[in-house]
Amino acid sequence: MAEYKWPEEGKRSHIGKRIKRLDGPDKVSGRAKYTYDLNRPGMLFGKVVRSPHAHAKIVSIDLSVAEKMPGVKAVKIIQGPGAEIQWAGDEIVVLAAETEGQAEDAARAVKIQYEKLPHFVNEQNWDAIPEANRRRPSEATAGDPAKAFKEADIVFEGSYGNEVITHCCLESHGLIAEWEDDKNLLVHQSTQSVSANGPQFAQALGIPAGNVRLKMEHIGGGFGSKFPVDRWGIEAAKLSKLAGGKPIKLMLERDSELMVAGSRPSVFAKVKVAAKKDGSITGWESEVWGSGGVGNFSFAGLLPYVFRAGVENRKEKFSVIGTNTGPQRAWRAPNHPQACLITMSAFDDLAAELKMDPLDLFLKNIALTGTRANVYRDELMKAAEMIEWKKMWRPRGEGAPGSTKYVKRGLGLSLHTWGGGGHASDCDLTIHPDGSVELKMGTQDLGVGTRTVLAIVAADTLGLPLDAVKVHIGDNRYPVSSGSGGSTTVGGVSSSTRRASIDALNALFEKVAPAMNTTAGKLEAVGGKIQEIGKPTNSMTWKQACAKLGTQPLTTRGKNPGKETLTTAGVGGVQMADVSVDIETGIVKMNNFVAVQDCGLIIDMKTAESQVFGAMIMGVTFALFEEKVMDAQTGRMLNPNMEFYRLAGLADIGNFKVHMMTGKGYDERGVIGVGEPPTVSPGAAISNAVANAIGVRVPSIPLTPDRVLAALEKKGGASAKI
């Protein structure tokens, strides 16, 4: 009976090492082809006509001019007269033409009459939100919060918020859809879910799921937004049918990407915290609201973030606000960055009120985090060492060493959690008689090194170099693997690959054992050889062993979940930020940013650290710059472009350091995903650092110059406490 477990530290040839991504050379040389790069024979270009109004009823649609324009091959109404449009950017008409320019001209020729209706798009101010847009709140109470606040030595109150931000994938959403015949559809889609999207197309188009072939070699970012096939995907397939099955390429333009491809919900909160004089937190109360656009979202059960289990006296109220804006989608650790900002900011403000070092206050209350308290304690101390917290930190408003009259320096911290357990995944591993090894799986590589991880696990298990394993992914004809979300990919794909590799190796041992005058249970694969354990002279090369297969390749299928545990869930992390703030201009500059993160057994240290670095970059971006700005009068997004929807550049980042918690106490937990957890803390850590620097809380992020200056103006002098 095979035993499924990860190799011990001293017996790992590749696992845990710093290994470059196998697809790196293809990407930097341009050989890697993304959906956007593909141009199929006879391909047409699709364009969508979108509503310019946030709330309107379609009165009439005239396609007559567009249909007769040069190059136009198909025009289709998506939402017809009488339909009520709920947000600017919603799809009305789709069309296809021989060139992109012709399609754009035809789209402009479509005439649509609307009856404009009242709209509401800005939810920041609770008092200005119409009653009709306030959906029924969820409320929860635990313990006796009234008693906790009555008996508290100190009660702190604060207000905090996150503005809506949008997805902004480097490769926009889109696909190429073509009919190979009347019943079979071929789709090249930029997606996070290669195996699952075929059935979505099939159901919408009325064909068997097996008739949809979906392929994707590379994806230019997803971050939670590229799971569904989307209405424009279905319409592209229908348009292809109208155009005689010709390929239709429909990729969102940058403005459409920012308007319609999903957003991270806003969250605003009024918070009260009860505490003792020594900083012990005894009670929590929060009134929270936010908007996921026209859709819904849940924010219940998250506050106080990380500390919730230990704060027994709690009262919470959460209200969803309906707005006439595009719907929200999962955005790298859904809801956690918002919950983290609210909680960590409130606790940091409490520390300032008590004149405590926030590191001391967090350590004082670390037991409230529950089962991972010791992990958080170790991570806090490591991060403090990396950023020299005790040397650099000064009380709020005094300015850390390096401050000048007009540029103030400050430090802030935050901690976070996430799940990350491995998802369902099947893997086929084939050993050929010539010694070559192939791995097939219907998963996807979001740019984080999935191909490399698969090769590492298989090669480590089989005792081979990495280049001996050929990895095939990105096709729904391969064994099914779940979509890449929730940081579940690495745990799922590594576990199924490990099981498939162990089974294949054991089957090979059975083939060669008689020729080596031993039994399969006494063999091992090391350094490109099959040898007897404890007797390495009794060996044969890998190729010699594989030749014993004869003419028939050996294929095994590994599954996750399966026998024994190779992946678990639940991680913690700590981040600390060091910033400088120009109090004349309000500009925030990153000096240093450190992250300490655990994620169980690390398959590739280099790509694991790279994911944390990437999360920190995204974190700096949403902490300082990102914001979906909506015009109250027109209901439109005012900054759907890369000039005014700003992302962080190289000069905005500062110095980053990452430390991964590994070894005893971590490796035994198996493989856990790390894509999302380090994205959670940056907003809180950077906001706390800015408050420490300037002596006042900037209540919401992004920490743009106007918000910083407004907070300084409201501060009322350098002596203000918070």
Per residue in 440-466, pLDDT tens?
A: 999 999 999 999 999 999 999 999 999
* 108 & 223 share domain: yes
pLDDT band of residue 1 (cuts 50, 70, 90) is: low
Q: What residues contact 574, with CB distance under 8 A and at least 6 apart?
A: 376, 379, 380, 382, 383, 413, 414, 415, 416, 595, 596, 597, 681
Q: What pLDDT score does 295 carry?
A: 85
Q: Say how many domains are in the chain.
A: 3
Per residue in 471-503, pLDDT tens?
A: 999 999 999 999 999 999 999 999 999 999 999
Q: What pLDDT score does 633 carry?
A: 97
- Stated pTM of the model: 0.97
Q: What pLDDT score does 717 carry?
A: 46
Of 560, 576, 593, which closes a domain? 560
Q: What pLDDT score does 719 carry?
A: 38
Per residue in 45-96, pLDDT tens?
A: 999 999 999 999 999 999 999 999 999 999 999 999 999 999 999 999 999 9
* 238 & 299 share domain: no
Does 2 score more than 90 pLDDT?
A: no
Tokens of 106: 């035809």
* Residue reference for tokens 């089962």: 371
* 313 & 246 share domain: no
CATH number, domain with residue 206: 3.90.1170.50
Please check whether residue 720 lies inside any domain of the structure: no
Task: Return d(Cα 644, Cα 628) in angstroms, integer.
Answer: 10
* 506 & 525 share domain: yes
Tokens of 27: 């990407």
Per residue in 100-140, pLDDT tens?
A: 999 999 999 999 999 999 999 999 999 999 999 999 999 99
pLDDT band of residue 715 (cuts 50, 70, 90) is: confident
Per residue in 536-585, pLDDT tens?
A: 999 999 999 999 999 999 999 999 999 999 999 999 999 999 999 999 99
Q: Which domain holds residue 239?
A: 35-117+173-251
Q: Please, are residues 284 and 311 in contact by the beta-carbon 8 Å criterion?
A: yes
Of 560, 592, 612, which closes a domain? 560
Per residue in 401-423, pLDDT tens?
A: 999 999 999 999 999 999 999 99
CATH number, domain with residue 502: 3.30.365.10
Please check whether residue 124 lies inside any domain of the structure: no
Please check whether residue 448 lies inside any domain of the structure: no
Q: What pLDDT score does 716 carry?
A: 67
Please check whether residue 402 lies inside any domain of the structure: yes
Per residue in 261-313, pLDDT tens?
A: 999 999 999 999 999 999 999 999 999 999 999 988 889 899 999 999 999 99
Instruction: Report, in this order, helix, strand and coil percent for the chain, each rounded to 5.
Output: 30, 25, 40
Q: Please, are residues 78 and 660 in contact by the beta-carbon 8 Å criterion?
A: no
Please check whether residue 643 lies inside any domain of the structure: yes
Please check whether residue 644 lies inside any domain of the structure: yes
Q: Is 602 left (phi over 0), alpha (psi -120 to 50) or beta?
A: beta
Per residue in 132-152, pLDDT tens?
A: 999 999 999 999 999 999 999
Task: Return d(Cα 216, Cα 219) in angstroms, integer.
Answer: 7
* 218 & 92 share domain: yes
* 406 & 302 share domain: yes
Burial of 690 (0-12, 13-18, 19+ CB in 10 A): buried
User: What is the DSSP pairing of strand 281-290 with strand 314-320?
Assistant: parallel
Q: Please, are residues 290 and 317 in contact by the beta-carbon 8 Å criterion?
A: no
In angstroms, what CA-CA distances link 318 with 128, 162, 297, 460? 17, 15, 11, 49
Task: Return d(Cα 170, Cα 105) in angstroms, integer.
Answer: 26
Q: What pLDDT score does 485 carry?
A: 96
* 109 & 208 share domain: yes
Burial of 52 (0-12, 13-18, 19+ CB in 10 A): middle
Query: Whole-number mean pLDDT of the chain?
Result: 97
Strand partners, 526: 529
Task: Return d(Cα 435, Cα 432) in angstroms, integer.
Answer: 5
Please check whether residue 154 lies inside any domain of the structure: no
Does 722 score more than 60 pLDDT?
A: no
* 547 & 575 share domain: no
Does 718 score more than 50 pLDDT?
A: no
Per residue in 320-358, pLDDT tens?
A: 999 999 999 999 999 999 999 999 999 999 999 999 999
Dihedral sign (CA 661, 662, 667, 668) = negative
